[in-house]
Each structure stands twice: as C-alpha cells, then as structure tokens.
Amino acid sequence: MLIPNSLMRAFSEYASTLTCFYVYCTPEECDEIAGFLKKEFDQEWNKALDEAEKVYGECDQKESGYNPLKSIRTTENGIELLFGNLAVYYEDELRALRPNGEDALDKVILSLNERYPEIRYDGYIGYSWADEEGGENVQREITSEQSEELSKKVYPSVGEAIQRTVKIGADFLQTEMSDVIKYYDPEDVEEMLDFLRKYAPMLPEDIKKRLANIVKKCGYKKKMF
C-alpha cells in the first residue's frame, strides 16, 4: 500500500526510515544472506557516490560518509533491512542525482535473484527529494511474487513512521491534513483517512487517540477509528 501524497511530505520530514526490504528465509540462512545483502548494498551505494563525484567533482553524501542502510536484522521470518533517504546530492543539496540508493537497491535485488533464486522477498520504497529544479515523492512496492496483492499490504516501517510523525511532528501533520480536509475532493480525504485506518492495528492506543484528535481539529466530523 502506497502512502497518499498528502501524508508523504510529513512522513519524509520526521521518519528516519521509510524504505523497507524483507527477505523470507530460514534461521540457518539468515547470517549468510544478511551479510550478502549488506556487502552488495554498500558496494552499489559507493558506486553511485563515486559516479556522482566523477561526473560533478563532488558528492555531499560521500563527503559526509552517509549510508542510507540504517539497520539490518534477523526476525522470526527472515531478514529486515531499513533505509533512510535514498537520494544522492551534490552542491550542498542543490541538485539531486541518479544513480541513487533506489538504483543501488534494485541492483541488490537482481543479485539476490541470481544467487538465491528460490528466496521470497517484498518491501516498500519511499523517499522524497527536492533540489533547486524541483522535487518528487518516490514510491513503489517490490515483491518476488508477481501475483501478490500489494494494494492492501502494510509495512512495519511505515507504521513506525506514522508513530514518529505523530509524536514529534504533530503540528506539521495537522497542517498538511487540514489542507486536504478543507480544500481537496472528498475522495482524496477518504483516501488519506482510509490509509491511516488500515495501519491502525499496528498503532498503540495513545497514537490512535492523538491521530483522531488531530483529524477532529482539522474539521473532520465523522468517527476516525
């Protein structure tokens, strides 16, 4: 399930990780595959930074040592990778470049398919970029099962993003949601709220109450949850 654009700006602003990648494997396979994924991503990410430096003479993320792979850990179902913003910049973030972290992750998935063709995986890519020439919210879902219904799938990293945004960015979130409720078509309003309702089962009760209060302050008259 993709994040409505009306919420993407707020989540990108306050969530440290949005992009997630889940690999489903046995406990015996976890260490080997996790090591493979980290090595492959680090390699492809550094290639993207080297390319930016080669073409433009500088790269902000290379100079700062930034790597968007924030964590890689084993779970009861396999391996979870969480990523920060995948954009690559130069000139003090005035220009966004490709290839970037999204391209690096795509290459890692190709390598995973080649080395472990039977492995199942899925995930969500979500990040925002902006430079002096414009910007974009980038979102898509990835899966090894082509027949899988992704439009209803929810991701723990997005649930965490909702919680973090409510905790530390409630005023900003309220401003964004208020604009939608006041000025957008009713279908857009319901799309935004239905998205939050579908994530409700993974949200703590206090976060749901705070969300419902934000929606009420925005002028929405119906029951939120």
Three-state SS across 191-217?
HHHHHHHHHHHHCCHHHHHHHHHHHHH
Whether the CB-CB separation of 158 and 4 falls below 8 Å is answered with no
- The model's pTM is 0.88
The pLDDT of residue 211? 94
Given the structure tokens 């080297």, which residue do they identify? 50
Confidence of residue 136 (pLDDT cuts 50, 70, 90): confident
CA separation for the pair 50, 152 (Å, rounded) = 38
Among the ranges given (50-64, 72-86, 176-190), the one the predictor scored with the smallest mean pLDDT: 50-64
CA separation for the pair 49, 89 (Å, rounded) = 9
CA angle 112, 116, 117 (to 5 degrees): 100
Q: Over the chain, what is the mean pLDDT? A: 91
Interval 138-172: pLDDT, tens: 999 999 987 666 668 899 999 999 999 999 999 99
Whether the CB-CB separation of 145 and 39 falls below 8 Å is answered with no
CA angle 104, 144, 128 (to 5 degrees): 40
Torsion of CA 126, 131, 135, 137, to 10 degrees: 10
The pLDDT of residue 147? 62
Interval 29-73: pLDDT, tens: 999 999 999 999 999 999 999 988 888 888 888 889 999 999 999
Phi/psi of residue 125, nearest 5 degrees:
-110, 120
**H or E segment and range at residue 101:** helix 101-115
